[in-house]
A and B are shown apart, each in its own frame.
Chain A
């Protein structure tokens, strides 16, 4: 019975594992944020946290992590998201900047105050801090 419970605990822990991190520069003047804040940031509704201007960084559209991020944080299908950005184009708003690799996201976030990106948790280093995990 104990073994069964242990296996169940391990399984649940595995299922709930948070493998990805939303990161900002280590000296950014803010800490943890909510998933809805992230959604507003990546839809460019929210442009500031306190006095700090925020610059969201996306991965390329075919990246699996970006697809995962859109499904779990933005909570919009790719088609709906695309129609959203087409409408924003008419309003004079471009989607967030993209970076081609996890390393370039890390580099951008490290170098630019206010940049917010997402990478696999295993890549997090001392130059950035985690403000959300998913």
Chain B
């Protein structure tokens, strides 16, 4: 415990030293740029949860990231993260620690043109909106929807080709493939050695975008799944509406005839840029994980500045014993 506290203090000291020192190019939420080769940043989040059988405090994510340009058109990104760094269970008076940092992302990009960028390494799977901005501070709720947790591998260790499809710079494509082990399986939701997919995203204008994905993956337990996914978003800076849905089939022989599906519809109202009210409806069905659940969520988020977020929410579940209150604090340095 003492060593854990010491490490937290070191992490926070380094982070706040960077902020407090007169380094010129540092701005909270933008990282510290040493030069074009190296920008460093970090983020952390804490969470307080009250549910039927649980009352806990968690220092949930603590991460360090570095990125830069190695040579013209060749860039990299490395991210190390410890999940559930520290957890205290108030009901049982027990605390747990996990100070092991694992590779969250590690990849190189080579930009051949605006129409073709090759990325190789461990990266976030390019599907929809939620999966691309998965950390607490970038989200509008403390919780993640079922959709983003159980239906597809959140990370990919392989290659992704992406780019704009035309000079209008409105439509982007991704073609990705993995045919090997994950680089670091520790925080992977669905470990696999076979994952192929494609996605398209179109920005109609500054307010409206939509897209979709298809793909196939095979889990380490040799279950093969195919999916189709759709997403759409409206955002006029005061009001935002977003939705994602995925339908997946496959799995074990006994489950092949039964589709798994999940999705959400989320509405945001920015009363001011600092104060946001959020509501979300989710529907999820998966025979192999949690059967079926629907939930409705109401929440509030306060951002004194964008990279600092205080959030709270209450979830009403169809599965009654899943109702919970969540609050969180998160920062992107």
Contacts and interface: CB of A to CB of B under 8 A. Distances in A.
The answer to whether A binds B is: yes
A132 B43 CA distance: 39
A102 to B, nearest CB: 20
Given A94-B30, A94-B33, A89 B332 contact: yes
A47 B114 contact: yes
Interface string B75-117: 1110000000000000000000000000000000001011000
B114 A95 contact: no
Given A46-B114, A80-B237, A94-B39, A89 B30 contact: yes
A75 interface: yes
Which range contains the number of A residues in contact with the other chain?
Answer: 20 to 34
Interface string B29-60: 11101000001010100000000000000000
Contacts, number: 57
A83 B75 contact: no
B73 A90 contact: no
Contact of A47 (B41, B111, B135, B206): B111
Contacts of A93: 67
Nearest to A40: B169
Contact of A90 (B33, B76, B133, B237): B133
A92 B332 contact: no
Contact of B114 (A48, A85, A91): A48
B138 interface: yes
Interface string A76-98: 01011011011101111111000
| Nearest 9 Cβ contacts at the A-B interface | A92-B67, A92-B77, A86-B29, A83-B306, A79-B273, A40-B169, A86-B307, A86-B306, A89-B30
